[in-house]
Homo-oligomer: A and B are copies of this chain.
Amino acid sequence: MMTSIEESPLYSIANPKSLAFFGASNNLTAMGTNLLLSVQALGFEGPIYPVHPKSDTVLGLKAFQSIDDVPIIPDLAVIVLPTAIVNNTLEACGKRGLRNAIVVSGGFKEGGEEGRLRELELTDIIQRYGICLLGPNCLGVTNPHQRLNTTFIPYEGPPGFIGLASQSGSLITQLFEHLFMMGWGFSTAFSVGNEAVVDVVDCMEYLAVCPHTRVIGLYIEGIRRGARFIETARRIVPHKPIVALYVGGSEAGRRAGFSHTGAMAGSDRLYEGLFRQSGIIRARSVTELFDFCGVLGSQPLPRGARVLIQTHSGGPGAAAADACGRAGLEVPLLSPEALEALAPFVPNTGSVQNPVDLTFTKNPLDFYSKIPQVLAGDRNTDTLLVYFMTPSQVVARGMRWMGVPEDQIAKEGAKMMDDQCRSFMEAVQPSGKPLVGFTFRGHHEPSIQGLTRRGVPVFPGPERAARSVAAMVQYAEFRKKWTAPQACKDA
């Protein structure tokens, strides 16, 4: 097993110091142009050498007629050319001495007999030159920690902790904003495409030792190396959680996968067993894939399945309790000590059963400090699940009432909400227990952003929150089982 990413054959694909770029032009309708714009938008710091048969410059960069004209041997070639000229270009790169390439172009194994033969030719070339290849028919790589993003959409938000190996490039590039809204981001994401060389297993091995990656996500339409996949996962899971989404289980999903990347899918039950054997948490949807990654990468592991729900509204509390029950979690009563400590803060309309429903409290500040402190400290609790709901218009109403000048209301309100979020975090963190929120407000709300920015996942609705907590519990159990000391020999 590798001990650092520098040992990985994928190192220069994810961390190139220089790029050769084929297929970008000054024409925005070309796919390659868009990808190079994404590279530039994230501020890639190394030199970029566009190769173009006619233009002297491409997107403001000096262009070269052929790879032979490029003054150095770039670390990585990104190829976004018409299918027919990809193999020749790859061969030219090999001759020039390049040893890493991403082929974005499609029209290979996924595209009939002609494509299959073309992919055979491609694998022959890369074997001859010893090229490490990502693709073909992929979107390349996103490594925001290195300011690298070869995908279609510019990267949004700060670098993150989710490592992804995906048989869909769209589910990298088109998820940037989705992750950003939840307070998450990619550490490094690989779009593996047809997996002519680099496959999901290689990416798992890289991500296992990537220091920015706290959790590994997999989007799978079909696995080629089953035994190696299981073996690799079993080595990783005791140290880093793996979450996988498999979409080939239904007939329609299987057909879609084949026409997409030529993947041969197996039955749902086969993959269910494969994931279970491997200690992999299974997600049932794209949303769950990233939800599970988000909580596993941001929260401490719960010691058990007991969830305490904090709310100021009965309906959302009951819905959360119901969602926890359906997700297989426990919603136990509070300990006598917690009940006693809580008593001063609960109005007579409230409830100290679980959910703890504070209703309309006289001092809303308690909701953000003393109450969560007591609840997180409760010995009957493994995870705190909290309903958050502070519409900025209601805050503005209060500010206006207190005489805050109209032009300062937005700023003062945002500051107040930010203080509350910080206070909440400070109240819970000493417990070392996971904190997960839910809301029905939008993520644009300052009261929600103040939490997501501090690493607290706030889900739209309790169901996604509950299922994510259940995923953490499942991983904690895997980990306990797999890292348990062997039966003591002296006994």
Q: Give the B-binding residues of A (Cβ under 8 A).
A: 28-29, 31, 34, 37, 106-107, 111, 152-154, 166-171, 174-175, 177-178, 181, 219, 221, 245, 247-253, 255-257, 259-261, 284-287, 309, 313-319, 321-326, 330-331, 348-349, 351, 353-355, 357, 359-360, 362, 389, 391, 393-394, 397-398, 401, 440-444, 460-463
Contact = CB atoms under 8 A, between A and B. Distances in A.
A398 B357 CA distance: 50
A351 B29 CA distance: 20
Contacts of A259: 314, 351, 353, 357
Given A249-B322, A252-B331, A285-B323, A171 B315 contact: yes
A318 B250 CA distance: 10
A32 to B, nearest CB: 11
Report how many copies the assembly holds.
2
Contacts of A463: 284-287
20 contacts: A28-B398, A34-B397, A37-B397, A106-B359, A153-B393, A153-B394, A171-B315, A174-B313, A175-B440, A248-B318, A250-B322, A255-B353, A256-B309, A256-B353, A259-B314, A260-B351, A286-B319, A286-B440, A286-B462, A287-B463
Contacts of A325: 249-253
A354 B321 contact: no
A253 B321 contact: yes
A183 B154 CA distance: 28
A398 B154 CA distance: 13
Contacts of A252: 321-322, 324-325, 330-331, 354
Contact of A349 (B106, B154, B398): B106
Contact of A168 (B169, B318, B444): B318
Rank and list the top 3 A-B pairs by shortest CB-CB distance, nearest first. Answer: A168-B315, A250-B325, A252-B331
A154 B257 CA distance: 46
A425 B296 CA distance: 41
Contact of A318 (B29, B221, B348): B221
Contacts of A315: 166-171, 219, 260, 286
Q: Which of A286, A313, A322 has the most CB of B within 10 A?
A: A322
A184 to B, nearest CB: 13
A252 B322 CA distance: 6
Nearest to A443: B442
B331 A174 contact: no
For A171, A181, A319, A325, the residue with the greatest tally of chain B CB atoms inside 10 Å of its CB is A319
A181 B260 CA distance: 32
A247 B174 contact: no
B393 A461 contact: no
A375 to B, nearest CB: 15
Contact of A177 (B167, B181, B253, B440): B440
A362 B29 contact: yes
A445 to B, nearest CB: 9
A31 B394 CA distance: 12
A401 to B, nearest CB: 4
Contacts of A398: 28
Of A349, A440, A442, most buried by chain B (CB within 10 Å of CB) is: A440
